[in-house]
Structure 1
Amino acid sequence: MIPYLKALQVFEAVGTHGSVTAAARILGVSPGAVSQQIHKLEDHLGITLLERGGRRMELTSWGRVYHAEIKLGFDQLANAQNVLKRARNDSGITLSSLTSVINKWMGRKIFDWQALNPGVAIQLVGTEREPKLGEEEVDFRIYYGSQVHHEHYVELFTDWVVPACAPGLIKADPPNEPADILNHPLLHIVWANIYTPAPSWADWAKSIGSHRRVGEGGLSYQLSSSAIDAAVAGRGFVLAQLALIADELETGRLVVPFDHRLKLSDPYLLAWNRASLEKPFAQEFKRWIITAGKKQARLSAPQ
């Protein structure tokens, strides 16, 4: 057992809130009781933690160093409480991912999960900011890229891109060979610098043996979903991930004149907060996403 734990709690409150009076109010004790605990801690350590002058009080240099370390410990204890609270919260499961993945892949597949588990509440959060699992209200995160800053994760699938467009774009002038696609307006996807670049039209042209120089002129999008929506609207060809255009291909809103695919450089991965697995249905939800990822890997790879 840590000696003088109560005194440590009092000292942390004094340093955080700036005065004995404020700490006493937060802790629900008298200022005299706070001062008594500080004196007890100082006697135990053999150093002066507070400079006292009339009504003024400030941490000594040793007090500032000690308080910084003590506060880390109490912050960790508070976080442990939050983790336990989330683990016991049966109000639902929160899944975070990149906006395009939520809008075009998981946001569509989630209806399959709901059909099997109609009583389970699932919240989908589309964001480019990577959440801190275990500290934020997020249970699962679908990442893109090989670097995952979390202890618990598994690879889902690696996607492939194909040139896709709205049927009306090529109705009057259908391409006779893959290189003819480059004569049409091209929509570009330029991801944020933290990700390995997606395959570009220059990469695709090179892969089909075309020596045509493909510039970056025209419309560029940071979100893949925005570029896909522009293609559906007939604005041009997009190098689209197969996982993100399954519905558009099935309904005929997009077509792939020549199925020449390029593989993304990095995989998608699923990470999770271990405490969240204690939530009702969380283990089943995790297995369902992994199964969906394996199926997508088979669908996206060249046949």
Structure 2
Amino acid sequence: MPQIPPLKALWAFDALGRAGSVALAAAELGVTPGAISQQVTRLGELLAVQLVARSGRGLVLTELGRLYHAEIRRGFAALEGAQDVLDRAREDAAIRLSCLTSVLMKWIGPRIFDWQSQHPGARLSLTGSDIEPDLIRGEADFRIYYGGRIHPAHHAVLFTDHVVPACAPELIAGHPLRDPADVLAFPLVSIVWNRRFAPGPEWSVWAERIGASAPESALSYSLSGSAIDAAVAGRGFVLAQISFIAEELRSGRLVVPFDIRLPLSEPYYLAWTEAALAKPDARALHRWLLATGRAQGIISAG
């Protein structure tokens, strides 16, 4: 097998060939110009070929030097390409969890840090989207979605959520509520659900539950997270999913004067592929998601 010159000498020669001067090559590699000259001279001696010639106060590649540089440049390019492949493989090793946007904002987002603290080496990529990814084609590893859509990947029920009227405590300060119907006298914030989902819970249904009629909503949002934020800001009552307002209730930013709940018409599901479970820590995340979903279902049902 032919003897390969030392890597340091090859690096120095490659840098000189690309930079065109000893000073620039030295700056690129973080060494002195003398070190570059020494390594290039050593390489020529090992190969028994004159690779460079003096030109003024610098060095230039000879004809043989240019031919040799072109070949080793291809070799270094191949090594750089191999590193790129490895970097991409590492990126692909990240577990990609796709969720409905509000689920990411209000349910998974605040809770995922608990899982990460137990798996500090895990790499996780979270995406919020109302467009269903194709898990079979590798667009995501796990997907949390709503409704009875038959997913081509493996799937399991996470939990069925409930909604409850919630508001900022400042909204009702000085206005004691004696009856659930008193809620309807305040501005009502509505959530307009995506058409592809079953009809979401509406104020009219909640009002009917308590034997009253609901006025028109003062404000409506297409995202549950935005509607909840509006309620926190004191804009009115919102029929909020219990899973989405745990932190707001805990911190006192939202209150529930009357705990009268309506169930969502369908549950949330978790979908995944067998290939996803082969990734590092993916099975642990899978178990945690299912367990967290079961616990949420109990909390939401009251």
Structure 1 length normalisation: TM-score? Answer: 0.69
Query: Which residue is equivalent to 1:167?
Result: 169
Query: Which residue is equivalent to 1:255?
Result: 255
Question: Could you give the per-residue CA deviations for residues 145-196 of structure 1, whole angstroms, max 9, x where no partner exists?
Answer: 0113323100010000000000000002121110000000000011110011
For residues 174 and 135 of structure 1, the distance between their equivalents in structure 2, rounded to whole angstroms, comes to 55
Q: Which moved more, 1:283-292 or 1:87-96?
A: 87-96
Q: Tell me if structure 2 keeps the 8 A contact 1:190–1:197.
A: no
Query: Which residue is equivalent to 2:210?
Result: 208
Structure number with bigger Rg: 2
Query: Which residue is equivalent to 2:4?
Result: none
List alignment gaps of at least 5 residues for structure 2.
1-87
For residues 170 and 198 of structure 1, the distance between their equivalents in structure 2, rounded to whole angstroms, comes to 26
Per the TM alignment, residue 133 of structure 1 is displaced from its structure 2 partner at its CA by 0.6
For residues 153 and 229 of structure 1, the distance between their equivalents in structure 2, rounded to whole angstroms, comes to 31
Moved over 4 A (4+): 86-90
Structure 2 length normalisation: TM-score? Answer: 0.69
For residues 278 and 89 of structure 2, the distance between their equivalents in structure 1, rounded to whole angstroms, comes to 6
Q: Tell me if structure 2 keeps the 8 A contact 1:156–1:293.
A: yes
For residues 122 and 171 of structure 2, the distance between their equivalents in structure 1, rounded to whole angstroms, comes to 42
Per the TM alignment, residue 137 of structure 1 is displaced from its structure 2 partner at its CA by 3.0
Per the TM alignment, residue 88 of structure 1 is displaced from its structure 2 partner at its CA by 8.8
Residue type matched to 1:249 in 2? L
Query: Which residue is equivalent to 1:277?
Result: 277
Q: Tell me if structure 1 keeps the 8 A contact 2:164–2:241.
A: yes
For residues 125 and 114 of structure 2, the distance between their equivalents in structure 1, rounded to whole angstroms, comes to 15
For residues 276 and 263 of structure 1, the distance between their equivalents in structure 2, rounded to whole angstroms, comes to 31
In the alignment of these two chains, the number of paired residues is 215
Q: Tell me if structure 1 keeps the 8 A contact 2:98–2:128.
A: yes
Query: Which residue is equivalent to 2:110?
Result: 108
Q: Tell me if structure 1 keeps the 8 A contact 2:99–2:144.
A: yes
For residues 219 and 91 of structure 2, the distance between their equivalents in structure 1, rounded to whole angstroms, comes to 45
Q: Percent identity?
A: 56
Query: Which residue is equivalent to 2:197?
Result: 195
Query: Which residue is equivalent to 1:221?
Result: 221
For residues 238 and 245 of structure 1, the distance between their equivalents in structure 2, rounded to whole angstroms, comes to 11
Q: Secondary structure at the match of 1:285?
A: helix
Question: Could you give the per-residue CA deviations for residues 218-249 of structure 1, whole angstroms, max 9, x where no partner exists?
Answer: 21111100100000000000000000000000
For residues 204 and 270 of structure 1, the distance between their equivalents in structure 2, rounded to whole angstroms, comes to 28
Query: Alpha carbon RMSD of aligned pairs, Å?
Result: 1.6
Per the TM alignment, residue 276 of structure 1 is displaced from its structure 2 partner at its CA by 1.2
Query: Which residue is equivalent to 2:297?
Result: 297
Question: Could you give the per-residue CA deviations for residues 52-97 of structure 1, whole angstroms, max 9, x where no partner exists?
Answer: xxxxxxxxxxxxxxxxxxxxxxxxxxxxxxxxxx999763101001
1:98 aligns with 2:100: yes
Q: Secondary structure at the match of 2:158?
A: strand
For residues 297 and 244 of structure 2, the distance between their equivalents in structure 1, rounded to whole angstroms, comes to 13
Query: Which residue is equivalent to 2:141?
Result: 139
For residues 155 and 265 of structure 1, the distance between their equivalents in structure 2, rounded to whole angstroms, comes to 13
Query: Which residue is equivalent to 2:69?
Result: none
For residues 223 and 147 of structure 1, the distance between their equivalents in structure 2, rounded to whole angstroms, comes to 20
For residues 167 and 90 of structure 2, the distance between their equivalents in structure 1, rounded to whole angstroms, comes to 47
Q: Which moved more, 1:86-95 or 1:279-288?
A: 86-95
1:124 aligns with 2:126: yes
